Amino acid sequence: MTFDLPGRFWRGNLHTHTNLSDGALSPAETAQVYRAAGYDFVAITDHFRPEYGYPVTDTRGLRSDGFTTLIGAELHAPRTEAGQAWHIVAVGLPLDFATPGENETGPELARRAREAGAFIGMAHPAASLLTAADAESLDAAHSVEVYNALSDRENRGDSWHLADVLLNRGHRLTTYAADDAHLQPKDPPPCRAWVHVRAETLAPDALLTALKAGHFYSSTGPELYAVRIEGERIVVRCSPATKILLSGGKPGAEFAQGIDLTEGSLPLAMFRGTHCRVTVEDAGGGRAWTNPIHLPR
């Protein structure tokens, strides 16, 4: 499992905007916000739209010892069931990624981005009112953005329901959390949701490989130190928490509750043959989530 792999966890944000699209700050200023907050990397994903000149923002010059960047964009093309353009996070794009074709659909654009080497995420599904049919058509996706801090202000930050529906239909997707930071004066504060990526180095290629392989977990506060299967139980070690929850592919859950919990052991029997995930919640309401763990019968 991810927590037993060589290397360490690197903290980063996968969905970020600058003034090259509709963000408030320059790429350099935006990167500095994350570096000052203790992040190890940030992906700048400006809106890949004609009104902004289809930017794939070049952040290579912002890399330094102890901090790096991933190059990407938020892609848009017609059309979801709700009638709007797709929002697709693509991290790891080449700088010369071609603009959308005249009749290119969102799923086609996502396939082209994946073929070009990108990690593909379904951006803020709840806020975009994505249906299961929409999501299944986005067959190039690696991951679902299950928590979006910006969308949370409209009470549509959590997209776990859609992720579980897709997983129960057999789609092998991972799940991530992100700020979707624009750093506008009226926006929520930045650095409210992130991923911890397990890799041996902070090199962009190593991070991208780990993301595609699902070697990460997501958080809005708590840290996960170990998650492993031991016989018929899952064992968790974490920063102080009030709840350690095991849920997933079937209704119901297993959980431990208390004050300053730092470990828990929960039975897996309920989820055999489907998938499960661990959620840890702390006293301040912060949560951390593992990726889905697929279990044999």
The CATH number that applies at residue 255 is 2.60.40.10
Which residue, of 218, 242, 262, is where some domain finishes?
A: 218
> Is the pLDDT score of 123 beyond 90?
yes
- Sequence length of the chain is 297
Q: Are residues 120 and 262 in the same domain?
A: no
Residue 153 β-bridge partners: none
Q: For the domain that residue 173 is a member of, what is the CATH number?
A: 3.20.20.140
Domain boundary among 170, 195, 218: 218
Q: Are residues 201 and 275 in the same domain?
A: no
Burial of 151 (0-12, 13-18, 19+ CB in 10 A): buried
Shared domain check, 201 and 234: no
Together in a domain, 79 and 208: yes
232 to each of 48, 100, 122, how far by Cα in Å? Answer: 46, 49, 33
Taking 90 as the threshold, does the pLDDT of residue 59 lie above it? yes
Same domain flag for 98 and 204? yes
HEC states along 228-284?
EEECCEEEEEEEEEEEEEEEECCCCCEEEEEEEEEEEEEECHHHCCCEEEEEEECCC
Q: What is the pLDDT of residue 6?
A: 97
Q: How far apart are CA 124 and CA 126, in angstroms?
A: 6
Task: Identify the domain containing residue 274 by its residue range.
Answer: 224-294
User: Does residue 208 sit in the same domain as residue 230?
Assistant: no
Instruction: Calculate ∠ Cα 232-226-6, nearest 5°.
Output: 115
Under the banding of pLDDT at 50, 70 and 90, the label for residue 145 is: very high
Query: What confidence tens digit (pLDDT) does each residue in 263-289 have?
Result: 999 999 999 999 999 999 999 999 999
Whether 133 and 232 map to the same domain: the answer is no
- Regarding whether 95 and 40 lie in a shared domain, the answer is yes
Asked whether residue 22 falls in the same domain as residue 162, the answer is yes
Average pLDDT over the chain, rounded to an integer: 97
Domains identified in the chain, total number: 2
Is the pLDDT confidence value at 1 over 90?
no
Does 31 score more than 90 pLDDT?
A: yes
* Token code pair at residue 191: 């650095």
CA dihedral 289, 292, 294, 297 (to 10 degrees): 70
Q: Tell me, what's the pLDDT at 132?
A: 98
- pTM of the prediction? 0.97
Among residues 177, 200, 218, which one ends one of the domains? Answer: 218
